[in-house]
Amino acid sequence: MMLNIGNKQQRVDGPQKVSGSATYSADITSQFYHAYVLQSSIACGSITALDTSAAEAFEGVKGIFTHKNLPERLKNRVDYTDPLSPPGKPFRPFYNNKILYNGQPIALVVAETFEQARYASSLIKVTYKEEEFKGSLYENLKNASADRTPDPASNRGDFKKAFKNSEYTITQEYRQSRNYHNPMEPHATSVEYKDDGSIVVYDKIQGVGSSLKYLNGVFGLGADKVQVKSDFVGGAFGSGLRPQYQLFMATLAALELKRNVQMVMTRAQMFSFGYRPEVIHTMKLGCSKDGTLQALSHRTVGETSTFEDFNETIVDWSGLLYKCEHVNLEYELTPVQSYTPLDMRAPGGVSGVYALECAIDELAHEAGIDPLEFRRKNYVDYDQNEDKPFTSKELMACYDRCEELFGWKNKKTSSENEPHLLTGFGMATGSWEALQQPASVSLTMDENGMFTIKCATADIGTGTYTVMSQIAADKLGVPIEKIEFKLGDTAYPDSPIEGGSWTVSSVGSAVAGVCKKFQYRIADVWKRNNPDYQQVDFDAILFQDGNLEYDAKTFSFAEIMQQASKEELSIAHNEAKIEGQTTHSGYAHCCVMVEVTVDQDLGIIKVPRIVNVSAAGKIINPKTAENQLLGAMIWGLGMALREEGMVDSKYGRIMNANFAEYHIAVNADVHNIHAEFVEEKDDKVNPLGAKGVGELGIVGLASAISNAIYDATGKRLRKLPMLLDDILEV
Amino acid sequence: MKPFEYTRLSTDDLSSDTALYDTTFLAGGTNLVDLMKYGVEKPDAIADIGQLPYDQIEEFADGLRLGALATNADTAYHPAVKNKYPVLNKAILSAASSQLRNRATNGGNLLQRTRCYYFYDTAMPCNKREPGSGCAAIKGFNRIHAILGTSASCIATHPSDMCVALAALEAKVHILRKGATLVMPFDQIHRLPGEHPEKDHNLEPGDLITHIELPNEGFSQNFEYLKIRDRESYAFALVSVAACLKVSAGKIEDVRVALGGVAHKPWKLKEVEHEFIGKEASTENFKSLAEKLIKGAQGFGTNNFKIPLVKRAIVRALNNALNPS
């Protein structure tokens, strides 16, 4: 029988997606009232008057909600947290007349159509008492404090002394601007209001459990009164890790008006909540004459909101990736008048590794050593932050394969035809955690031998439906067509939120676990009904093609289970973390190499080639895994050269909240791009030996491009994004 | 968007001169409808001109007529445009996306509005959108803003690529005004902001562009449209240059240089071009032309880079036009 794990299985939900029959949260077809949010036009101050009369009188308007009429019970409730709330006080919509950031929701208009609601919102007259916007991260660095952050990995050795004694040193500052998630599907919530006062909520979320937790905390409905569903998510990248305000709004309106209500955010509103924060890194690195890394200090200051302390794991990466005895790590936060940042694809890792990999490149050049050789020289095979071995680490094989594929040594020179065009090569190391969270699943088999496996996890476009079906098919011993994997429903067994690249590891291991239980179950039933086989050892039984095989005899699952009780056909399973994760550290790794061209007159930077070679344990589906790598790499290109959330220094307002002026990379920006995996055996990371790949590909890419620009031009652009004017003016 | 009255115009409607006065014309809608959704444009009445017979592209003895309702895509790919006016083909195809070009019309392209961040955001002051409210771009983000012909009240740019090529080709615009035809040279269509940035152009209410006339000279041998932007497709020009040359024995017989992304209108100075006629087609002279063409350029902070960039872009475009690859 053909094994599914390791196959380039087509997406099982592909036909639904390409035919448009996949129902996303805004595709629910009940009759809905439509909600539209009016946002503040100032960053700081208070609302002194709010006249909604013209809006109320407008055709089709069914209700308007503001701080003036928010039900008292919502003001008195205190739990607006969700499972991923950082320390602090979560934002409470319409709580009072205070304005905490520009773009804050200040009124909700509900009408028969979206167009009516949107236009009516523009008829609301708002009078503010405006206070001065105090600026972005850079203007507020004096308020940076480590009191608001968790402690990074412990310092080790004596950095100061080792840095002083180093033969070569660099001290540099690197800046990263704010980035927004921009999933293709905007956030949407559709709430169906039932006669008994219960609601069914279709939410764009990376884990329905988070929406449920939030709704219960805010609205106090009780577990039997709320069901949250999310069959499909059109990309999220972290933007759906926390419930966003459309969930509150649609639910509030549905409960107050006792009607079905839908709220879909506009593209501009997709810039009115979380983002990858702007950060500033200060790097100090020193090495010996032969290029041995001696001392490393990484200090990062990041922005957060005035009401929550959003933190990431940023500087720890600098203590992890290379062998270094003397390390100093510092991480601080500065509040700015903005909404709270939010995890975005490889949160913290992207930022920390960006600064580290640029600094490593600078130090290698100081020492006169090829950047690839420098990295090999300082390779480390255990986790120095935690003082543990890795579950596996085939990064060296990534270096070797990437070098070969890319042709690292075959440096091109500028062509005679285009003397203004400079070519450069750059590289970086990337890494991401291989985590596993507890997860639960249930399995049932029907009389036809069809299996339904349920879990409250999500598929954010990553391929959860597909890889879980593959795992189940192999672990049960049935064709993949016999598996239906269902997700995105709070009625299903609990799952961790889909994030952290841990879904394959966590839910996949739980699926493998429940399948194993099923095999034991079916073997028991078989033995019970076949006295001849009472003494058969489980390991001597073969499970394949939907059959139990023993001693050259074949018994179909369906046939055996006819003699089982209904209860026996339903199996639940909770998968906990495994032992290996406490004694070992699990990480996936990659090496990325890029070629850039820089037009030295016009400053235009292009990336004709990107090659990524990753080590991520067992690859369940090379097709979806490659998709994830490529998507992440393209985003890395965007991060390096394109993306910048532009916050006006006077008004504190994001000024490019659209696809015309917030430049995500487009097809034309992507030329020759390649991703592949090296073999990596791992029997400790989780029962599948698989590491997540959703985030890995973006880590390091921006530094590889920055390093390649230096190789081409001799200019170090220590900021992101790197724009053509940076080339002209440096 | 604000509720509006919708009518579909037929040719008969054009004979009455009052009917059109108070309406906003809708053609492809790629810009107008967006602006209405954002609340930037709030017309009370829309007249859909999509059915009017101005979608033809016709060759005639003295040149080519581009119907105002022909789409940007049909225009760019028309054989006469590709062969005779390749600078226009290249300019159009550098703009927007194929979906937008399939929908957007030539007349609408001329009348598209600026992409200034503050113009688009009704929460922000903007003299163009709300006269007298102030300009937030002058001291704010102005990376995409003008360096030439600005005023204290507005530093917005005209965002079109097509118009830059049309300016270089010295097209003429045919306008129906109160039942009569008016022909306007291309450089008189758009205006500089001055004290009235709310006015993008010199058309009067009720004026309807019927077609654009291209003169015979298409510079099909020596041309370039160089567009510099923040990504390789689907971005407005930071700086663009339409360069057309006629060269004989190394001497410039005719030269046209129009700039996009630097002013409230495509920037072209006939007197500067004249100065170089008869001179050697050399990088040195191209540099000198560039200096003269952007004389008086002024940056506002984040757009300062455009000053050196546009000079280099002009020289590159002229050299590329001179030495087609």
| C-beta atoms of B123 and A724 within 8 A | no
Give the number of other CB atoms < 10 A from CB of residue A673.
17
Report yes or no: B98 at the A interface, CB cutoff 8 Å.
no
Half-sphere exposure of residue A199, counting CA atoms within 13 Å on the CB side?
Answer: 32
Query: Is residue B122 pLDDT above 60, yes or no?
Result: yes
Choose from B1, B144, B231, B318 for mutation: most chain A CBs within 10 A: B231
| C-beta atoms of A649 and B39 within 8 A | no
Establish whether domains A25-132+183-236+240-271 and A437-576 are of one fold. Answer: no
| C-beta atoms of A666 and B230 within 8 A | no
Residue A393 tokens read as: 């680490």
Q: Give the residue-averaged pLDDT of A461-476.
A: 96
Q: Which residue of B has its CA nearest to A669?
A: B232
Q: Give A717's DSSP letter.
A: -
Tens digits of per-residue pLDDT, B139-163?
A: 999 999 999 999 999 999 999 999 9
Q: How many residues are recorded in chain A? A: 730
Residue A246: strand pairing partners: none
pLDDT of residue A577: 73
3-state secondary structure of A553: strand
Chain B residue numbers touching A649 (CB-CB < 8 A) = 140
Query: Is residue A414 pLDDT above 90, yes or no?
Result: no
Tens digits of per-residue pLDDT, A34-60?
A: 999 999 999 999 999 999 999 999 999
The domain segmentation of chain A, as residue ranges, is: 25-132+183-236+240-271, 279-435+582-729, 437-576
Residues 63-82 of B with CB under 8 A from A: none
Chain B residue numbers touching A666 (CB-CB < 8 A) = 231-234
| C-beta atoms of A669 and B140 within 8 A | no
3-state secondary structure of A552: coil
Quote the radius of gyration of chain A (alpha carbons, Å): 27
Write down the residue that tokens 């006077």 correspond to.
A650
Q: Give A103's DSSP letter.
A: T
Domain that holds residue B254: 223-322
Tens digits of per-residue pLDDT, A294-335?
A: 999 999 999 999 999 999 999 999 999 999 999 999 999 999
Query: Is residue A413 pLDDT above 70, yes or no?
Result: no
Tens digits of per-residue pLDDT, B242-268?
A: 999 999 999 999 999 999 999 999 999
Mean pLDDT of chain A: 96
- d(C-alpha B258, C-alpha B226), whole Å: 11
Residues 5-44 of B with CB under 8 A from A: 37, 39
Establish if B281 belongs to a structural domain. yes
| C-beta atoms of A724 and B309 within 8 A | yes
Q: Give B112's DSSP letter.
A: P
Give the number of other CB atoms < 10 A from CB of residue B317.
27
Q: CB-CB: which of B3, B115, B124 is closest to A660?
A: B115
Nearest to A628 by CA among A697, A703, A704: A697
Torsion angle in degrees (nearest 10) through CA of B193, B197, B201, B202? -90
Write down the residue that tokens 């040279």 correspond to.
B185
| C-beta atoms of A642 and B231 within 8 A | yes
Q: Give the residue-averaged pLDDT of A134-138.
A: 96
3-state secondary structure of A284: strand
CA A77 to each of CA A74, A94, A291, A585: distance values in angstroms, whole numbers, following the listed order:
5, 13, 59, 41
Q: Which residue of A has its CA nearest to B320?
A: A418
Choose from A126, A663, A725, A727 for mutation: most chain B CBs within 10 A: A725
Residues 647-676 of A with CB under 8 A from B: 648-651, 653, 655-658, 660-661, 663, 665-669
Backbone dihedral angles phi then psi of residue A296, each to the nearest 5 degrees: -145, 125
Q: CB-CB: which of A41, A602, A606 is closest to B313?
A: A602
Residue B244: strand pairing partners: B223, B256
Establish if B67 belongs to a structural domain. no
**CATH (domain of B285):** 3.30.390.50
Given a contact cutoff of 8 angstroms between Cβ atoms, the answer to whether A257 and A192 are in contact is: no
pLDDT of residue B17: 58
Give the pairing of strands B223-228 and B239-248: antiparallel
Nearest to A313 by CA among A385, A420, A404: A385
Closest Cα in chain A, distance from residue B125 (Å): 10
Chain B residue numbers touching A725 (CB-CB < 8 A) = 143, 305, 309
Give the number of other CB atoms < 10 A from CB of residue A123.
18
| C-beta atoms of A661 and B115 within 8 A | yes
pLDDT of residue A567: 86
| C-beta atoms of A648 and B140 within 8 A | yes
CA A25 to each of CA A208, A285, A662, B44: distance values in angstroms, whole numbers, following the listed order:
12, 48, 25, 34
Choose from A133, A651, A717 for mutation: most chain B CBs within 10 A: A651
Q: Which residue of B has its CA nearest to A643?
A: B230
- d(C-alpha B234, C-alpha A656), whole Å: 15
| C-beta atoms of A602 and B316 within 8 A | yes
Q: Which contiguous run of DSSP H or E holds residue A544?
A: strand A542-544
Query: Is residue A730 pLDDT above 60, yes or no?
Result: no
CATH 3.40.50.2000 fits A279-435+582-729, yes or no: no
- d(C-alpha A217, C-alpha A225), whole Å: 13
Report yes or no: B228 at the A interface, CB cutoff 8 Å.
yes
| C-beta atoms of B230 and A724 within 8 A | yes
Query: Is residue A1 pLDDT above 60, yes or no?
Result: no
Query: Is residue B19 pLDDT above 70, yes or no?
Result: no
Q: Which residue of B has its CA nearest to A59?
A: B3
**Distance from the first to the final alpha carbon of chain A:** 61
Cis, bond preceding A721 (omega within 30 deg of 0): yes
Give CA A526 to chain center in angstroms.
44
- d(C-alpha B43, C-alpha A596), whole Å: 48
Write down the residue that tokens 């409230």 correspond to.
B264
Report yes or no: B308 at the A interface, CB cutoff 8 Å.
yes
Q: CB-CB: which of B124, B144, B233 is closest to A668?
A: B233
Q: Which residue of A has its CA nearest to B118?
A: A655
- d(C-alpha A643, C-alpha A655), whole Å: 13
3-state secondary structure of B275: helix
Torsion angle in degrees (nearest 10) through CA of A144, A149, A151, A157? -20
Residue A450 tokens read as: 């069809």
Tens digits of per-residue pLDDT, A337-347?
A: 999 999 999 99
Residue A443: strand pairing partners: A453, A571
Closest Cα in chain A, distance from residue B206 (Å): 27
Which ipTM did the prediction report?
A: 0.97
3-state secondary structure of B89: helix
| C-beta atoms of B121 and A729 within 8 A | no
pLDDT of residue B16: 66
CATH assignment of A25-132+183-236+240-271, given 3.90.1170.50, 3.30.930.10, 3.40.50.720, 3.90.950.10? 3.90.1170.50
Residue A688 tokens read as: 């599948």
| C-beta atoms of A655 and B140 within 8 A | yes
- d(C-alpha A382, C-alpha A388), whole Å: 6
Helix axes A622-641, A701-713, angle to 10 degrees: 50
Q: Give the residue-averaged pLDDT of A255-270.
A: 98
Q: How many domains does chain B have?
A: 1
| C-beta atoms of A666 and B117 within 8 A | no
Q: Give A153's DSSP letter.
A: S
Query: Is residue B210 pLDDT above 70, yes or no?
Result: yes
Tens digits of per-residue pLDDT, A588-643?
A: 999 999 999 999 999 999 999 999 999 999 999 999 999 999 999 999 999 999 99
Residue A567 contacts by C-beta under 8 Å, 6 or more apart in sequence? none
Q: Which residue of B has its CA nearest to A729?
A: B305
- d(C-alpha A161, C-alpha B2), whole Å: 68
Chain B residue numbers touching A729 (CB-CB < 8 A) = 305
- d(C-alpha A393, C-alpha A431), whole Å: 10
Q: Which residue of A has its CA nearest to B317?
A: A602
CATH 3.30.365.10 fits A437-576, yes or no: yes
Q: CB-CB: which of A122, A646, A724 is closest to B141?
A: A646
Give the pairing of strands B5-8 and A125-130: unpaired
CA A298 to each of CA A49, A239, A301, A325, B9: distance values in angstroms, whole numbers, following the listed order:
48, 27, 10, 14, 67
Q: Give the residue-averaged pLDDT of A195-216.
A: 97
Strand order in the sheet with B251-260: B223-228, B239-248, B251-260
pLDDT of residue A702: 98
Chain pair A-B, CB pairs under 8 angstroms: 90
Chain B residue numbers touching A650 (CB-CB < 8 A) = 136, 139-140
Half-sphere exposure of residue B38, counting CA atoms within 13 Å on the CB side?
Answer: 22
Given a contact cutoff of 8 angstroms between Cβ atoms, the answer to whether B162 and B95 are in contact is: yes
Q: CB-CB: which of A41, A122, A661 is closest to B39?
A: A122
